[in-house]
Amino acid sequence: MEKRPFVTREQLEEIVKEYPTPFHLYDEKGIRENAQKLKDAFAWNKGYREYFAVKATPNPFILNILKEFGCGADCSSMTELMMSEAIGFSGSDIMFSSNDTPAEEFQFADRIGGIINLDDITHIDFLEKAIGHIPETISCRYNPGGIFKISNDIMDNPGDAKYGMTTEQIFEAFRILKSRGAKKFGIHAFLASNTVTTEYYPLLAKVLFELAVKLKKETGAEVTFINLSGGIGIPYHPGQEPNDILAIGEGVRKVFEEVLIPEGMGDVAIYTELGRFMLGPYGALVTRAIHEKHTHKEYVGVDACAVNLMRPAMYGAYHHITVMGKEDAPCSHKYDVVGSLCENNDKFAIDRMLPEITRGDLLFIHDTGAHGYAMGYNYNGKLKSAELLLKADGSVELIRRAETPRDYFATFDCFDVLKNVKYE
């Protein structure tokens, strides 16, 4: 089954007349439909809320769309907190899930009333010293260790992850926090990444629901919310079945009724922190073929590089590529599709069978809506691209301009050493 772009070649040809490649393009219609589907999947839980993982797609235009669907903001840094506050998120709209956190970031999160999710038991004293008190509502991140399996398949290795408290530590943390004034508690955990299965969330929910029951019994703490965090993935490869979010929501509901309801904990709110699921399929990197090279392999050089999409270089991650206008042409040519960085891993595809590509062809690199633009950097002095929003009516809105050389040199503006740089 071939992946199909959410835009036509004709639409792209019009867009590139105004906005040169490369750029990230987002599908507003798809984003809205998906956000509503998630909301419907957990409508059975009165307190349910999605805290969108800002790190995935830190753009205020995107955040404002999700805000319309009642989403909060999951932040992990000062600038993410600042962006979220600036566009109207406040108080319990914000979940601050960070690790190795500087004192000033705890202070800012507390000042704007965000819910703080502690990554480690030692952070209790650090937080109290930083802000002068323990918040009445607080959350702790849990890591059970070991290997996390689904149907005998290893999904991830929490024991190797730097995040979260051990079982013994989270019980002790709840006791300490309760003794210092905390009144409402949350539990958070992330045990596997990018799962494409309906089993992950219900299994994670069972772990956390059972933990919540024990914590309440043994510490007397009032657990008011359980944060299942992220981990629901997307089908990067063609032919992969996408996650059925309605079935996932139903699976969590069944576990909720089996574990929490009998313990009188039916008012516990369920939170999620989805980034990839919310935005991944609804973004693409659009780039143009500008060179070809015939040496030991066949290469296509494009005007994008790992600066624009780091995942293939960093993880060897697969992103499907459509050659626009050749969607139905036979994939008869084997290419490495590469960028211009002085790094041999700057490749969007290796030995990929594609239709014949000629210079000038537009390539649509799928599933970059989350952890795409956000992971960009400026190696080789490369500049980050624009972000565009394809509106539901077919029009296009610029939602972040492309960087310029002036942006690249901006942090030298306190020196005279580059005063003669000509930006134009």
Q: Structural domain of residue 349, as residue ranges?
A: 282-412
Report the pLDDT averaged over residues 17-27: 98
pLDDT at 148 > cutoff 70: no
Determine whether 342 is an active site residue: yes
Query: Rounded distance, CA 6 to CA 27, Å?
Result: 7
**What average pLDDT does the structure give for the chain?**
95
Same domain, 274 and 295: no
Cα 399–Cα 196–Cα 245 angle in degrees, nearest 5: 70
Which amino acid is located at 227 in the chain? N
Same domain, 54 and 175: yes
Which CATH number belongs to the domain containing residue 312 in this structure? 2.40.37.10
Banded pLDDT at 145 (limits 50, 70, 90): confident
Same domain, 253 and 304: no
Q: Is 418 contained in some domain?
A: no
pLDDT of the residue at 419? 80
Which CATH number belongs to the domain containing residue 250 in this structure? 3.20.20.10
Model confidence over 158-199: pLDDT tens digits?
Answer: 767 788 999 999 999 999 999 999 999 999 998 888 888 899
pLDDT at 149 > cutoff 70: no
Spatial contact of 290 and 20, defined as CB atoms under 8 Å apart: no
Cα 166–Cα 172–Cα 176 angle in degrees, nearest 5: 140
Q: Is 125 contained in some domain?
A: yes
pLDDT of the residue at 160? 73
Same domain, 254 and 387: no
Same domain, 349 and 376: yes
Model confidence over 310-364: pLDDT tens digits?
Answer: 999 999 999 999 999 999 999 999 999 999 999 999 999 999 999 999 999 999 9
pLDDT of the residue at 156? 57
Structural domain total, the chain: 2
Same domain, 292 and 266: no
pLDDT of the residue at 345? 95
Question: Which among 280, 299, 321 is the end of a domain?
Answer: 280
Question: Which among 245, 280, 315 is the end of a domain?
Answer: 280
Spatial contact of 273 and 341, defined as CB atoms under 8 Å apart: no
Query: Rounded distance, CA 309 to CA 385, Å?
Result: 10
Q: Is 362 contained in some domain?
A: yes
Which pair of tokens denotes residue 146?
A: 């070991």
pLDDT at 249 > cutoff 90: yes
Report the pLDDT averaged over residues 56-75: 98
Model confidence over 380-421: pLDDT tens digits?
Answer: 999 999 999 999 999 999 999 999 999 999 999 888 888 888
Q: Is 13 contained in some domain?
A: no
Question: Which among 232, 265, 280 is the end of a domain?
Answer: 280
Same domain, 292 and 209: no
Same domain, 133 and 205: yes
Same domain, 259 and 331: no
Q: Is 4 contained in some domain?
A: no
pTM for this prediction: 0.95
Q: Is 421 contained in some domain?
A: no
Q: Is 249 contained in some domain?
A: yes
pLDDT at 228 > cutoff 90: yes
Report the pLDDT averaged over residues 80-97: 96
Same domain, 318 and 261: no
Percent of the chain with pLDDT over 70: 97
pLDDT at 150 > cutoff 80: no
pLDDT of the residue at 159? 65
pLDDT at 152 > cutoff 60: no
Q: Is 1 contained in some domain?
A: no
Model confidence over 250-297: pLDDT tens digits?
Answer: 999 999 999 999 999 999 999 999 999 999 999 999 999 999 999 999
pLDDT of the residue at 140? 97
The helix or strand, by DSSP H or E, that contains position 203, with its residue range, turns out to be helix 200-219
Counts of helices then strands in the chain (DSSP H, E): 12, 19
Instruction: Give the distance from CA 310 to its chain's centroid.
Output: 14
**Cα separations (Å) of 129 from 86, 101, 176?**
27, 13, 14
Long-range contacts, 342-346 (Cβ 8 Å, 24+) = 342/380, 343/306, 343/313, 343/379, 345/306, 345/312, 345/313, 346/305, 346/306, 346/313
Same domain, 176 and 236: yes
Same domain, 265 and 289: no
Q: From the candidates 71, 75, 305, 342, which is the catalytic residue?
A: 342
pLDDT of the residue at 192? 83
Banded pLDDT at 154 (limits 50, 70, 90): very low
